[in-house]
Amino acid sequence: MRRILCYGDSNTWGYDAAADDRFPEEVRWTGVLQQLLGEGFRVIEEGQPGRTTVWDDPIEEHRNGKTALYSVLESQSPVDLVVLMLGTNDLKPRFSLNAFDIAAGLERLVRIIQTHLPTAQRRPPEILLVCPPPVGEWVDRGSIAGMFTSAHSVAVSRELPRQVEKIARQYGCRFCDAGDAAQLSPVDGVHLTAQGHRNLAGLLAPVIRACFLT
Tell me if the pTM is above 0.85: yes
pLDDT at 214 over 80: no
Q: For the chain, report the end-to-end CA distance as a whole number of angstroms.
A: 17
Backbone angles phi, psi at 189, to 5 degrees: 75, 10
Q: Which of 23-37, 38-52, 103-117, 200-214 has the lowest mean pLDDT?
A: 200-214
- CA distances 175 to 63, 180, 208, Å, are 24, 12, 10
State the pLDDT confidence band at 152, using cuts at 50, 70 and 90.
very high
Query: Span 115-125, mean pLDDT?
Result: 95
Upper half-sphere CA count for residue 156 (Cβ side, 13 Å): 21
Provide the CATH number for the domain formed by 2-211 in this structure.
Answer: 3.40.50.1110
Where do the domains of the chain lie? 2-211
The pLDDT of 112-128, averaged and rounded, is 96
Q: Which of 201, 194, 137 is nearest to 18 (CA)?
A: 194
Q: Where are the beta strands (DSSP E) in 18-160?
A: 21-22, 41-47, 81-85, 126-131
| Mean pLDDT, residues 105-110 | 98
> For residue 8, what is the enclosing H or E element?
strand 2-8
* pLDDT over 80 at 64, yes or no: yes
Is the Cβ–Cβ distance between 54 and 65 less than 8 Å?
yes
* The predicted structure's pLDDT at residue 147: 95
